[in-house]
Structure 1
Amino acid sequence: MQVIEPREVPLGGLRALTVRRTLPHRDRSFIGAWCFVDHYGPTAVCADGSGRMDVAPHPHTGLQTVSWLFQGEIEHRDSGGFHAVVRPGEVNLMTAGRGVAHSEVSTAETAVLHGVQLWVALPEAARHTTRTFEHNAPPAVLLPDQAGQAFVFLGDLAQVSSSPVQTFTPLLGAQLDLVAGADVTLRVDPSFEHGVLLDDGEVSVDGVALAPGELACRDAGSAELRLSSATDGRLLLLGGPPFEEEIIMWWNFVGRSHEEIVRFREEWETGSETFGGVEGYVGDRPRIPAPALPAVRLRPRGRRGRASA
Structure 2
Amino acid sequence: MSNLDREAVPAVCGGRGFVVAEPVRELLSPRRVQLGESTEVRRLLPNLGRRMVGAWCFVDHYGPDDIAGEPGMQVPPHPHMGLQTVSWLHEGEVLHRDSTGGLQTIRPRELGLMTSGWAISHSEESPASHARFLHGAQLWVALPDSHRHTEPHFEHHAELPVVTAPGLKATLMLGEVDGATSPGTTYTPIVGADVALTRGADVRLPLDADFEYAVLSMSGEAHVDGVPMVPGSMLYLGCGRTELPLRAESDAGLMLLGGEPFEEELIMWWNFVARTGDEVEQARKDWTEGTRFGEVHGYDGAPLSAPELPSVPLKPRGRVR
TM-score by length of 2: 0.89
State how 1:1-309 maps to structure 2 within 5 Å. Answer: 1-12=25-36, 15-49=37-71, 52-110=72-130, 111-139=132-160, 141-144=162-165, 146-158=166-178, 161-272=180-291, 274-283=292-301, 286-303=302-319, 305=320
3-state DSSP class of the match of 2:285? helix
Amino acid at match of 2:126: S
What is the CA-CA distance between 1:282 and the residue it aligns to? 1.3
Instruction: Tell whether the 8 Å contact from 2:161 to 2:181 is kept in structure 1 after alignment.
Output: no
Task: Give, in angstroms, the shift of residue 77 of structure 1.
Answer: 0.6
Moved over 4 A (4+): none
Q: Which amino acid aligns with 1:44?
A: D
Q: Percent identity?
A: 49
CA contact (8 A) 1:244 1:302 kept: no
Q: CA deviation at 1:231?
A: 1.0
Quick check: 1:140–1:149 contact (8 Å CA) kept in 2? no
Residue 148 of structure 1: how far off its partner (Å)? 2.3
Give the partner amino acid of 1:291: P
Q: 1:94 to 1:208 in 2, by over 3 A?
A: same
RMSD: 1.3
* C-alpha separation in 2, matches of 1:229 and 1:92: 28
Higher relative contact order (CA 8 A, sep 6+): 2
Opposite residue 242 of structure 1, the aligned amino acid is: P
Contact 1:29–1:301 under 8 Å retained in 2: no
Q: Is the 8 A contact 2:30 2:47 kept in 1?
A: no
- SS of corresponding position for 1:247: strand
Query: Shift of the alpha carbon at 1:140?
Result: 6.4
Deviation at 1:48, TM superposition (A): 5.0
Say if 1:72 and 1:113, in contact at 8 Å, map to a contact too: yes
Equivalent residue letter for 1:264: A
Residue deviations 1:186-223, cap 9 Å, x none?
11111111111011111111111111111011111111
- The 1:48/1:184 distance shift into structure 2, 3 A limit, reads closer
Residue type of the alignment partner of 2:57? C
Determine helix, strand or coil for the equivalent of 1:302. coil
The one-character-per-residue Cα deviations of 1:223-271 (angstroms, maximum 9, x if unpaired) are 1111111111111111101011111100011101111111100000000
Structure 2: distance between partners of 1:209 and 1:301: 33
Contact 2:194 2:254 in 1 (8 A): yes
* Distance in 1 between residues matched to 2:85 and 2:156, nearest whole Å: 12
SS at match of 1:296: coil
Matched residue type, 1:213:
G
Structure 1: segments with no counterpart, 5+ residues: none
By how many angstroms is 1:46 displaced?
Answer: 4.2
Contact 1:77 1:84 in 2 (8 A): yes
Structure 2: which amino acid aligns with 1:261?
V
Q: Which runs of 5+ in 2 are unaligned?
A: 1-24
Is the CA contact (8 Å cut-off) linking 1:196 and 1:237 kept in structure 2?
A: yes
Alpha-carbon contact 1:220-1:241 (below 8 Å) kept: no
Distance 1:226 1:143 in 2: 15
Preserved contact between residue 138 and residue 152 of structure 1 (Cα < 8 Å): no
For the residues of structure 2 that align with 1:128 and 1:170, how far apart are their CA atoms? 19
Residues 16/257 of structure 1: CA separation in 2 closer, same or farther (3 Å cut):
farther
